[in-house]
Amino acid sequence: MLTAARPSWDCVACGQTWPCDPAREELRSDMDLVELAIYMWDRLDEAVSDLSPNPPAELFERFLKWTR
């Protein structure tokens, strides 16, 4: 599974910001849309605490927008 390295939230496989394109494809094929949204909400929550006190404003878009 293509996961994120914490606390940087870069992909462990390719080093791009997670979820990279292959990670998104993998997640989409592993889960239905509801499961995926819940999973990504949880990851977003973790990322916000890892990247605090200044989490990037685009995190919501990065983690959730592509799931819809």
Interface positions with Zn ion (CB under 5 A): 11, 13-14, 20
Cα–Cα distance measured from residue 16 to residue 3, given in angstroms and rounded to the nearest whole number = 11
Nearest distance, CB of residue 57 and Zn ion, angstroms: 22
Nearest distance, CB of residue 28 and Zn ion, angstroms: 14
Is 11 or 47 the residue whose CB approaches Zn ion more closely? 11
Beta strand extents in 1-68 (DSSP E only)? 4-5, 10-11
For tokens 């890892």, the residue is 50
Is 16 or 49 the residue whose CB approaches Zn ion more closely? 16
